[in-house]
Structure 1
Amino acid sequence: MKIVNPVLTGFHPDPSMIRVGDTYYLANSTFEWWPGVRIHESQDMVHWNFVTCPLNRVSQLDMRGNPSSGGVWAPDLSYADGKFWLVYTDVKMVTGTFKDGTNYLVTADDIRGPWSEPIKLNYVGFDASLFHDDDGRKYLVQQTWDHREYHHRFDGITLTEFDTTTMQLKPETARTIWAGTDVKLTEGPHLYKINGWYYLFCAEGGTTYNHQETVARSRTLDALSFATMPGDEPFLGNYDTPRSVLQKQGHGSLVDTPGGEWYYASLCGRPWHHDTESSIGPRGWCTLGRETSIQKVEWDTEGWPHVVGGHGGQLEVEAPQDAIVTDAPITRNQHDEFDNDQLGHDWNTLRVPFNSAMGRVGGGALELIGQGSLHNLFDLSLVARRWQAFEFDAETCVSFDPHTYQAMAGLTNYYSDANWSWAFVTWDEKRSCRVIEVAQSDRNAYTSYLQDQAIVVPDGADVWLKTKVRTSTYSYAYSFDGTTWHDIPVTLDAKILSDDYVFERLDGYFTGAFVGLAAVDYSGYGTTATFHHFDYQEL
């Protein structure tokens, strides 16, 4: 049996993998998307099933106003003392000198919850993890942020003891245990104790094509006591394998099997390429965002870990010999008739949970009340799901009766508040009728493609909208009966919805493309759109 990478496709970065008994759990970053943190489980590392999103109350996570690519960074999942522990960061600033935010801790007796109210830890830096030592003591391990313009921003890895009596950190114990290597951008630390050694796994090089994972170790947890793995090669990385299908591997976590095998879960990217003049070089555009891969690990005679097959990793990996094979079908297709009064786990909103200000769901309809534009960081009526394949169709049917061009509702492909497009129904005051328009925001530059040629909607008709995503490009289509479809003559470049395109301007590039439903009415009158179904089918 083979692990086929990536094991979690589409926007599932920063994996924290643990084992409890014979079950493996993976927790992934969600950034500004709600609810916070996605957890999957598996008994064979091949088939992964969604379990829960533990941060599902505003009291645990309040991201209203967070910038794109802010929010939940690098959650750390662990199990000790008969319960699950989850450390996460809520980042309030993405670009600029400071990275204002807070590290929190929640716990649960059962992985499915309920999860506790959060304990505020600190904000020495982001990417914090909790290490449970075998003597019962606990430590917070974290990247350290330095705002000073004359210092490097990433100031090593800090260790701070956590008092389980007060459930608070002991700041007087804080010390830097490792300064990183010359690769710099040291982050994502996870600490393990194996055979009397403390092993520190850290990401370096930034989360682009120079991304890699480095290992250091020490016999103690004293300040600056960790020595880097010998040799010039990292533990994991694709900086020197530009033609590999998997790229950007690095930030992740280590786990052992009941039978004593070892595996490492890492983020990865799968680029497609069509622009040889791009400043990012030949590797291309990762529209699916950063995904999760798993590599097998072996140990040398000196006690250092190595990725089987070399530090570039493999697309297919031998599954654990003692795996409990579930043989569950892997499908990511989705069809929703909105019969339930709660949104399913495939759906996400931005920054805050789906609430009455956005609309309601159930009884065969999703009603979205028009609020702010798709640029809005506060009041936005949008529900969306991840792109999880390079080629898919998604469609919906909407009833919408606007009476101003400031009211719009339709189908969107969305990366961030600056980069998105949609096909939508709105009002044309010149012709006094409803019309279908296609518009795009490219780094906040807004373009209406149809303008005076916007497609007239017959009186009283519902509108079916479809998007056709085809790796490097995508388009929209419409129908007035759900059977006869007409392509809208606008072809859009999918790279605008990729991490790599956004990275060129350094304005937040940590998520991935989504497809979903939205309603806007920036006039403030709350015109409501009714969506009758949603269908996502990978090709």
Structure 2
Amino acid sequence: MTAVEVSEPAVAGFHPDPTICRVGDTYYLANSSFEYRPGVPLRVSTDLLHWDLVGHAFTRTSQLPDSEGLGSTGIFAPTLRHHDGVFYLVTTNVVGEAPEQVILRAESIAGPWSEPSVTQGAVGIDPDLCWDGDECYLTWCELGVGISQARIDPDTAQLQEEPRRLWSGTGLAHPEGPHIFKRGSWWYLVIAEGGTERGHSVSVARGVSPTGPFEGCPANPILSHRSRAVAVQNTGHADIFEKADGDWAITFLGTRPRGVSPGFHVNGRETFLAGIEWHDDWPVVIDPRHEIVATDHSFLDDFRGDRLHARWASPGVFPETFAQTGAHGLRLASDVVRFVGARVQDLEWTSTATLAVSEGWGAFALRLDEAHMYAVEVEGERVVATSVIGEVRTEHGSIVIAPGQEVTVTIAAVPDHGQFLARPGPDTITLAVHTDEGEQVLARLDGRYLSTEVAGGFTGRMLGFAVRGEAMVTTIACTAR
């Protein structure tokens, strides 16, 4: 069992289930997006160290219908591949009782991406596509069974044969996340096992055909951080690929938990990178191989462009249905509660926003899901700090303003550095409002209640704006400390 000493993600913040394909000297990365729209962020890199967000695969309601936006529903793990000049993305929309796989196609990674073609008879999650000559194979996790496979027409998503059982892993829980690739005369099947918590791991098998039979690696799992005293935990759900220089690499998800046991990760599952060496035709994960350094994810947005930056996303609906950019900023208008936010990517940060609520209720909010959120709310003459933890909503400090007045508010995350037995959490969240007398802190809240270990699920923190009524946001600045 291998552990690597990676500490900095290649793509930070809620970017789980990474999948990479290469075309020439350029690499393309896709990640899960769950309940958020637009769906499946897409990135491009030429060095594997710096990734540019170029768009999303799901950009319209015809591809991804509106939903309730409940936490950790929606679009699960994708696979991104390129074949005969076409990009293919296969994934699962789990909304519904029996989730089938959906395939989208595009000639350019930036789109436009096609309407989804939907399988019939491939119920499960975590689909993969691979080609052996003209034959294409769909491989997926059949829940409660293991890894299944069938030949498929990738343009119509029609299965060409009855599914077969392929491999059930090494006996660890939840064999899932399959990817198949070829190196030399061997076909390799990479899967995740152990669940996406601390026992997460990567195992591999090989065979002479993409249809198997597959023999497990004697050194499985080839990657796991379970029971290791390292900063990055929950490592798994990997994609192995050949680099432009002929070397090989592995991308995988991981988390950065902090605080007292069991540790709390708050930014979701992130994308990491390590090297691969080959011993006796088996992949061995090595590190260091890529010099990834901490990235400054600070941004300033005045919302005066033609459209929202690609960083902004909403649960259940596309942002443009209620959030419109314009000459004066971002106008939010909805008769039901809506949220638009950007992924939090740093562990320590400060964000300040200026907004005015002309009707109803608005808030600057830090959100993990619909039942776990801290916010500075504005309604009528009140500005109040609130927390929502499960079914309990609590009001903290507040001030009085003139109705409709523009207010500047701040949310900040500062890591906890408590002493032994002081039960430190991952961070402290400060909610503040700016007045003529300066910044007035309304609440300091324990960040563990906005962590996956408390809330459950598969996503990470989002920072943004909630509305029920009408509000105007003129600026937001987010700065890594």
2:464 counterpart residue number: 516
How many Å apart are 1:288 and its aligned residue?
Answer: 0.9
1:253 counterpart residue number: 239
2:117 counterpart residue number: 119
How big is the alpha-carbon RMSD for the aligned residues of Structure 1 and Structure 2? 2.1
Alignment of 1:481-500 (within 5 A): 484-488=438-442, 490-500=443-453
**Greater strand content:** 2
Separation in 2, partners of 1:41, 1:4: 22
Instruction: State the secondary structure of the residue aligned to 1:501.
Output: helix
Instruction: State the secondary structure of the residue aligned to 2:161.
Output: helix
Contact 1:76–1:87 (CA<8 Å) still a contact in 2?
yes
Residue by residue over 1:236-257, the C-alpha shift from the partner in whole angstroms, topping out at 9 and shown as x without a partner, is 111131x211111110201111
Give the TM-score normalised by the residue count of structure 1. Answer: 0.82
Separation in 2, partners of 1:317, 1:498: 31
Change (3 A) 1:234 1:536: same
1:158 counterpart residue number: 148
Separation in 2, partners of 1:85, 1:436: 48
Alignment of 1:154-193 (within 5 A): 155-163=145-153, 167-170=156-159, 172-193=161-182
Instruction: State the secondary structure of the residue aligned to 1:355.
Output: helix
How many Å apart are 1:372 and its aligned residue?
Answer: 2.7
Contact 1:16–1:26 (CA<8 Å) still a contact in 2?
yes
Unaligned runs of 5+ in 2: 416-426
Separation in 1, partners of 2:403, 2:317: 35
How many Å apart are 1:171 and its aligned residue?
Answer: 5.5
1:502 counterpart residue number: 455
The residue type paired with residue 516 of structure 1 is G
Choose which of 414, 420, 423 in structure 1 pairs with 2:367: 414
Instruction: State the secondary structure of the residue aligned to 1:248.
Output: strand
The residue type paired with residue 132 of structure 1 is W
Choose which of 40, 45, 69 in structure 2 pairs with 1:37: 40
Choose which of 75, 84, 104 in structure 2 pairs with 1:81: 84
Contact 2:361–2:470 (CA<8 Å) still a contact in 1?
no
Alignment of 1:190-229 (within 5 A): 190-222=179-211, 225-229=213-217
Contact 1:5–1:292 (CA<8 Å) still a contact in 2?
no
1:477 counterpart residue number: 432
Instruction: State the secondary structure of the residue aligned to 2:448.
Output: helix
Separation in 2, partners of 1:296, 1:459: 57
Instruction: State the secondary structure of the residue aligned to 2:78.
Output: strand
Contact 2:372–2:389 (CA<8 Å) still a contact in 1?
yes
Change (3 A) 1:265 1:63: farther
Instruction: State the secondary structure of the residue aligned to 1:71.
Output: coil
Instruction: State the secondary structure of the residue aligned to 2:250.
Output: strand
How many Å apart are 1:352 and its aligned residue?
Answer: 1.4
The residue type paired with residue 269 of structure 2 is R
Separation in 2, partners of 1:294, 1:409: 39
Instruction: State the secondary structure of the residue aligned to 1:299.
Output: strand
Change (3 A) 1:43 1:359: closer
The answer as to 2:398 corresponding to 1:398 is no
How many Å apart are 1:468 and its aligned residue?
Answer: 1.2
Unaligned runs of 5+ in 1: 94-98, 146-152, 309-313, 321-326, 374-379, 428-433, 504-508, 521-526
Separation in 1, partners of 2:474, 2:221: 51
1:524 counterpart residue number: none
Separation in 1, partners of 2:295, 2:385: 33
How many Å apart are 1:516 and its aligned residue?
Answer: 0.5
What fraction of aligned residue pairs are identical, expressed as a percent? 30
Residue by residue over 1:182-226, the C-alpha shift from the partner in whole angstroms, topping out at 9 and shown as x without a partner, is 112000000012111111000011111100010011123456x21
Contact 2:38–2:314 (CA<8 Å) still a contact in 1?
yes
After superposing on structure 2, the runs of 4+ consecutive aligned residues of structure 1 that deviate more than 4 Å are none
The residue type paired with residue 50 of structure 1 is L
Give the TM-score normalised by the residue count of structure 2. Answer: 0.92
Choose which of 427, 433, 442 in structure 1 pairs with 2:389: 442
Separation in 2, partners of 1:3, 1:108: 33
Separation in 2, partners of 1:459, 1:167: 55
The residue type paired with residue 43 of structure 1 is T
Contact 1:44–1:319 (CA<8 Å) still a contact in 2?
no
Choose which of 362, 369, 381 in structure 1 pairs with 2:333: 369
Instruction: State the secondary structure of the residue aligned to 2:345.
Output: coil
1:376 counterpart residue number: none
Contact 1:479–1:486 (CA<8 Å) still a contact in 2?
yes
How many Å apart are 1:368 and its aligned residue?
Answer: 1.2
Change (3 A) 1:103 1:220: same
Alignment of 1:11-90 (within 5 A): 11-90=14-93
How many Å apart are 1:389 and its aligned residue?
Answer: 0.7
Contact 2:340–2:465 (CA<8 Å) still a contact in 1?
yes
Separation in 2, partners of 1:533, 1:343: 13
